[in-house]
Copies of this chain bind each other. A is one copy, B any other.
Amino acid sequence: MSKEKKQYNFFCEIKGAKSIDRSQIIPFKDGRWRGIKSIAYKTEKGNWSLIERFPLFKSKWAKFEVRYFEIAPGGASSLEYHLHVHVVICIKGKGKIRIGKRWRNINYLDIAYIAPNEVHQLTNPFDEPFGFLCIVDSERDKPVELPF
């Protein structure tokens, strides 16, 4: 079995994301979506800080999930890699993203695509919250976290 195949034997599953099965509208107001509370960014401690995760959408009828993350000033996501890809869309403030060894700015509605097994991290060195949508496959491997 290849290394890539092996990675897929793990599911990266965070408790708290409800499955949505019936059509509905989830209204957005005052910076949050109705009925969607933040859950733990990860279930284990790591090299991340000041980051909240909001599970916006998952369903047994779809092969993807939509999450919203918000990083407070000074915070960061994990430095990590995994086989599954990320599509990140900035919808609040701005931030920095490391892709491989390179750091780039990410501004309002910029899209970042993180390819399989690319080392990456999102940080907020600015004064305002940095919020972004992150779309992933529902079935995905567990991230490998790196020190920094």
Contact = CB atoms under 8 A, between A and B. Distances in A.
A107 interface: yes
Interface of A: 20-28, 33, 56-57, 59, 61-64, 66, 84-85, 87, 89, 91, 97, 99-100, 104, 106-116, 118, 120, 133, 135, 137-139
Nearest to A138: B63
B133 A57 contact: no
A80 to B, nearest CB: 14
Copies per complex of this chain: 2
A59 B26 CA distance: 28
Nearest to A120: B23
B91 A62 contact: no
A113 B27 CA distance: 11
A131 B33 CA distance: 19
**Chain B CB within 10 Å, residue with most, of A106, A108, A110:** A110
